[in-house]
């Protein structure tokens, strides 16, 4: 659902850009807390561990978005990723993940208009992450605890987030569409096809979250705080067992990161060749309803990676595969860098506050208000 230049007029695009910029600013503040990780024995998981994982999530979403799947006659869909990112790394960090993906796609691959970048971040990042995570937490509040409940809640949250994003696009088009099309028909067509796309999104989200839960549930943000403390019977009474020690070197997320990166590279470098060639939901509706009458050429149309291919390489399989690999590599580097700086800023601020805190009086120097002899 990458909105190109020319679908939405300049005033609404600027307003959506302001909304997206505000959401990114708020997400940067929230992501500092999310990336700090859970507390362990009075400490926090360092940015060196959390930032690469968040960067990996962005790269994985980039890769899976290249895999269009058929949903109806002549129509395909692809992962939006907001729900998946929000559940894996948190809603604030999830918004940033999608923003990084959309920026890389727009600048390097001419996918999604540059003047429509704010529109795309708003509908594909902010709306999907907020709607999905709010529904996810609400479902977990009523479902029994456990991995199955997390997977089921993730499925439903992802399913709802996609038509919600389609409805958000329709609202923006109603406010600033560049063609005169009955908005009711656009809404019905957009929501209808994106409900079908949402099923694919839900399956991908459920399977991915379930796979991470199976091997490292501690790395799933949405699963934090859901573990019930182990009970011990002492003197005929049940008491909470002592908290577990912080994860040691053997619990490093390096293996998960390497496996995830390898999966993203394979999906983008090899699997993308077998993606559906049909237009996605927005492209199909735009063509059928005449929304694309004033579409503009992308500002980065001359990029050597435009349209997910490499200029001067005639073999489509090699060209698309190499472009996908480059995209995954660029996204994981840029994303990890952004998240590392974000997490380190929180740690630096905490260290500064600790440095300014007054030190307790020593035994040889009584407090200033102590009685003098």
Query: Tokens 């860098």 appear where?
Result: 337
User: In this predicted structure, which of 72-86, 125-139, 212-226, 305-319 has the lowest mean pLDDT?
Assistant: 212-226
Tell me how long the chain is: 373
Per-position DSSP letters for 4-54, written without gaps between them: PTTSB-HHHHHHHHHHHHHHHHHHHHHHHHHHH--EETTEE--HHHHHHHH
Tokens of 68: 């269009």
Q: Say if residue 371's pLDDT is above 50.
A: no
The band of 54, judged by pLDDT with boundaries at 50, 70 and 90, is very high
pLDDT digits (tens, 9 = 90+) for 354-365: 555 554 554 445
Q: Say if residue 130's pLDDT is above 70.
A: yes
Decide yes or no: CATH 3.40.640.10 for domain 10-29+56-231+254-336: no
Rounded Cα distance between 265 and 280, Å, is 23
H/E element, 319: helix 316-356
Is 342 or 228 the better-scoring residue by pLDDT? 342
Across the range 16-25, mean pLDDT stands at 98
- Report the half-sphere exposure of 370 (CA within 13 A, side-chain side): 10
Q: What is the pLDDT of residue 45?
A: 53
Rounded Cα distance between 297 and 76, Å, is 22
Residues forming a β-bridge with 314: none
- Say if strands 39-40 and 43-44 run parallel, antiparallel, or are unpaired: antiparallel
The band of 146, judged by pLDDT with boundaries at 50, 70 and 90, is confident
Q: Say if residue 28's pLDDT is above 70.
A: yes
Rounded Cα distance between 175 and 182, Å, is 12
Rounded Cα distance between 367 and 340, Å, is 41
Across the range 302-327, mean pLDDT stands at 94
Nearest residue to 67 via CA among 189, 206, 166, 197? 197
The alpha carbon dihedral of 196, 197, 200, 206 has a sign of negative
Across the range 127-134, mean pLDDT stands at 98
Per DSSP, 359 falls in state P
Per-position DSSP letters for 135-202, written without gaps between them: HHHHHHHHSPSSHHHHHHHHHHHHHHHHHHHHHHHHHHHHHHBSS---HHHHHHHHHHHHHHHHHHHH
Per-position DSSP letters for 230-248, written without gaps between them: PEEEETTEEEEPPPPPPP-
Q: Say if residue 44's pLDDT is above 50.
A: no
Contact 34, 76 (CB under 8 A): no
Tokens of 116: 């429509």
- Say if strands 69-72 and 43-44 run parallel, antiparallel, or are unpaired: unpaired
Q: What is the pLDDT of residue 242?
A: 53
pLDDT digits (tens, 9 = 90+) for 202-237: 999 999 999 999 999 989 999 987 655 445 566 666
pTM for this model (two decimals): 0.87
How far CA 73 is from CA of 70, 105, 190, 239, in Å, comes to: 8, 27, 15, 59
Q: What is the pLDDT of residue 348?
A: 55
Q: What is the pLDDT of residue 50?
A: 84
Q: What is the pLDDT of residue 250?
A: 43
Q: Say if residue 128's pLDDT is above 60.
A: yes
The band of 40, judged by pLDDT with boundaries at 50, 70 and 90, is very low
Q: What is the pLDDT of residue 145?
A: 78
Q: Say if residue 43's pLDDT is above 50.
A: no
Rounded Cα distance between 200 and 205, Å, is 9
pLDDT digits (tens, 9 = 90+) for 232-247: 566 666 565 454 444 4
Domain boundaries, the chain: 10-29+56-231+254-336
């Amino acid at each position: 659902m990458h909105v190109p230049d020319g679908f939405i007029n300049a005033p609404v695009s600027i307003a959506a850009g302001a909304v997206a910029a505000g959401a990114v600013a708020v997400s940067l503040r929230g992501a500092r807390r999310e990336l700090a990780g859970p507390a362990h024995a009075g400490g926090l998981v360092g940015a060196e561990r959390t930032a690469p994982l968040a960067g990996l999530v962005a790269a994985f979403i980039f890769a899976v978005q290249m895999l269009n799947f058929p949903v109806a006659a002549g129509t395909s869909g692809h992962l939006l990723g907001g729900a998946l990112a929000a559940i894996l790394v948190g809603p604030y960090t999830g918004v940033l993940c999608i923003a990084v993906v959309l920026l890389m796609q727009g600048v390097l691959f001419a996918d999604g208009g540059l003047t429509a970048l704010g529109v795309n971040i708003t509908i594909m990042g902010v709306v999907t992450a907020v709607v999905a995570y709010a529904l996810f937490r609400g479902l977990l509040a009523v479902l029994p605890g456990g991995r199955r409940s997390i997977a089921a809640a993730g499925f439903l949250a992802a399913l709802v987030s996609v038509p919600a994003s389609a409805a958000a696009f329709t609202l923006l088009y109603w406010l600033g569409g560049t063609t005169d099309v009955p908005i009711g028909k656009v809404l019905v067509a957009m929501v209808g096809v994106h409900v079908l796309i949402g099923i694919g999104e839900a399956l991908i989200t459920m399977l991915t979250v379930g796979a991470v839960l199976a091997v490292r549930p501690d790395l799933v943000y949405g699963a934090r705080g859901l573990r019930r403390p182990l009970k011990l019977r002492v003197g005929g009474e049940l008491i909470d067992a002592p908290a577990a020690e912080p994860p040691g070197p053997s619990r490093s997320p390096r293996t998960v990161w390497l496996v995830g990166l390898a999966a993203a590279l394979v999906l983008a470098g090899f699997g993308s060749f077998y993606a559906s060639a049909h237009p996605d939901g927005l492209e199909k509706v735009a063509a059928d309803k005449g929304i694309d009458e004033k579409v503009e050429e992308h500002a980065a149309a001359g990029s050597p990676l435009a349209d997910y291919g490499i200029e001067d390489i005639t073999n489509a399989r090699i060209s698309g595969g190499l472009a996908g690999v480059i995209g995954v590599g660029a996204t994981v580097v840029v994303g990890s860098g952004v998240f590392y700086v974000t997490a380190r800023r929180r740690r630096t601020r905490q260290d500064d506050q600790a440095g300014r805190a007054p030190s307790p009086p020593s035994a040889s120097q009584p407090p200033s208000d102590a009685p003098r002899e």
